[in-house]
Structure 1
Amino acid sequence: MITKSMYKIIQQSKRQGYSKSAISDLLSLDPRTVSKYYSMDEETYRTYRLAHQYREKVFDDYESSILEVYRANENRPLNMTAVYDYLEERYGPLPGNEQTLRNYIRYLIATDQLQLNHQARIYTPVPDLPFGRQLQVDFGQWRCSSGLLLYIFGAVLSASRYKYVMFQDRPLQTRTVIEHLLECFDYIGGVPRELVIDQDHLLVVSENAGDIIYTQEFKSFIDEQSLTMYVCRKADPESKGKVENLIKYVKQNFLSVRDFQTLEDATTGLREWLDRRANGKISQATRQIPAEVWKQERTHLRSLRHSIFRKDSLIEREDRTANANACISVEACLYQLPSRYRNTVVEIYLTAHQVFVFDRVTGQEIVEYVLSPIPGKTLCKRAFKRSSSHTTTELKKKVLTLFPGELWQQFLKHNFSKLSRYVRDQCLEARRYFQPQKIDDDILDQALSYCIEHETFSMANLNDTYHYFERESARATVHETARAEVAWNPGRHDNHAPLAITNRSVDEYNALIQQKGYGVK
């Protein structure tokens, strides 16, 4: 078939009076071709051209499937690679390449068999679950040809089939699973209402007829993010078949044809593969592109809260300036810091229930507080509100002079050394336990000797030991008094008179033995 411009030249030459043979010579065309178009009017040529323009009909057998995919997407313009991948997954090797399919779809459009709606929005008439409801999570392993063992974390939104995958080269732990979940929430743009997991020991300690005990860290994460959990029964893969298929798909379509030497190599192309293939191609289940449906689903996801498991990350920290009293203001409440942070900028990390304060220079955590529900309240740690009426040095001098004995000095030396962080508290307890009351020096020496021998150097232990020996001394005094009274009055037997005792003759016992037949003959 000649082009439209060539048909115009033939018709123009005809109107100018050229014969068919002259036109054939002029345009170097076959005389039969010139004769055919010489006698064809414009309407006949237009119909003929439309019928013969798309001669590649190798996709005629797939026409119904192609139209079905477009109808499922409300006739939106689709990525041709995605349509080609869909047909290839469904039917296997195709008779033409992507360009051939593109030409065929143009033919369907030109012949009005396919009418595209460029303003149609994505809509799933009957989704498996409402948007934002559920995220399924699963794990897997894959050993590369190089010997590198990859541990796979996979997650998929049940409604849109939007997928997230991450690799690591060490076994998964509860903390790393939580970190992957947080990164997954960042990737999908929010938090679903429900997580579907199996009974993996990283997350679940035990399950008994619906009573589920989670690991401590994962339980904290669930409560923090207000997640509803759906824990699959054992040997029940259908409950989370979507993510099971995802792990299988990652292995067969991404890992099976690639070999990696390092984790970095493996993760380099993963995100691009997710965007291009896993989320960019038509899903066999929904017949829609997950990345397009996700644009609607992400509006139904909840905002990600600041997590205690990210408190060491610099990204989410905020700067706060402590006032002249070394207090910072957080949500209408004041929180006390050590006095050295007066008028100093610090960093805070805020979660739903706690605030963590960090040194801006060293990055070390200074203190953490549970957020007060009462506006205007000032919270302070005990270590930050000690009385300053006496310095620690003054207190130590006063305590050292309480008792002159060598044992007391020796005990205090060990006390100040072993409990160096609590010297002030120990001095205050020494003054409370031993100064106000009369102390028996002998009993105190016993208690000091015992504590030194057994290396118990706190003031509380010394106080308990002193009172123990004090009670024992009191009991010994009572017993000594009783023995002294008996020695002074030998005839006294408590509250009754001496009893009379009858003495029998040995002969009487011998007679009884002979009578019973037990005697020696």
Structure 2
Amino acid sequence: MKDTNHTQSEERRVAEALEAMRKDAGDAFKLEAVNLAEMERRTGLSRSRLRRLKKNGFEFKPHANKGRKAKKTVLSGFTGALDDLLRKGVSNSSVILERLKELGYPGGLTVVKEYIARHKNLLPPKRQVVAPQGNRGRRYETPPGDSFQMDWGFTNVVASTGGTFQCACFVMTCHHCGACYVEFFPNAKQENLFIGMIHGFERLGVPAHVLTDNMKSVVLHRDLEGQPVWHSDYDAFMHTVGFQTKLCKPRHPFTKGKVERLVRFVKENFLAGRTFYNVTDLNRAALEWCDKQNGIFHRGSACVPNEVHGSECAQHLHLLDDSRELQGYLCPLRKISFDGFVNYEGRRFGVPYQYTGSFVRVMRKDAWLYIYSEDLLQLLVSHEVTWSKCDRFCKDQYAVPQQPEEFPTAPVKTQATMLPEDELDRSFEKFNFSKGADSDD
């Protein structure tokens, strides 16, 4: 479109210049004798450009290669992956460019945008738009380090075997600057909520308040005065870490809309077309993505989250204490089954059979799962973490421990004699009919 408008502008300027020169010269005007220097002054076109036009009688002809397409472009070899992303509903050109860069794409963003515009038919149909509800309130702001927002998001994961299972995504963001933290878990149980919050506090700090919705693992119900009745374990967790919780209205994004928008952004940007091997690989990529997003300018908050969080919010946040009570939340309690396994995150891991306790503490860190004794004083065994549902045996899981044995330290000179055992009474041998009758009888 830009080239077409530029050509039309040149045609108009040449036509106006020729018409003006025809009026000035009168009957003496000849097209083949037009002064190119005067045409250059009137039109602003180069002398070589005007010389080519004069040879064609100042007639603009289309370029010989117009309409022809190159057989090989910068997108050649990557269109299959791009089409696959479009069929999955990924239309964000920045996300598609990032995925193609991982595959070795050498081009830029403009080519990707043009390809998306020409192949919008591959995108799945959009959801039906409902009537807008209108403005239901006004967002409020908090001072630096006063409040964090947290929430759960869920996504479906296609396993390498072909099955599909659900994965939970814990997200936390600073209400003031928008610094974010994301971690994935196989489920959204309360123990995983505590682990995600502790990991988020380790990276962002501990605020005075945490905004959340009415989770089952946070609040049980409200009393007659409308005050929340906290879950006993969550209430103990709040006092251990040292923060307070504020509950937000359901379906009211003006209170905790930042974290709800973050959940949507994770689904549309981070998870779009994402492939991974195990939960460790996924969480490592999530941390890298969070560091990248925290280091760029956000138009919504008009700041770079890392800069504001480090200079303003960090002054009002307190660090997380590494206490024995806190380690108990990072290492949930598990009971050993009769066959020597503990169940953690839907998978079974073996425990040495010689361990005499009935309960253990389990913690997943990076690519390994560590099993401790109930008092956290002894590391029993470690397992590599995968998404596989197969039982993971530990080394010598059912081996009987070797008993200590004493051996003589001096030559043995004492000797004893063992007698043969007495023969059995054979008086009832004649009643043994299984041998059959003798041949002489």
TM-score by length of 1: 0.35
Greater helix content: 1
Q: TM-score, normalised to structure 2's length?
A: 0.41
Structure showing greater radius of gyration is 1
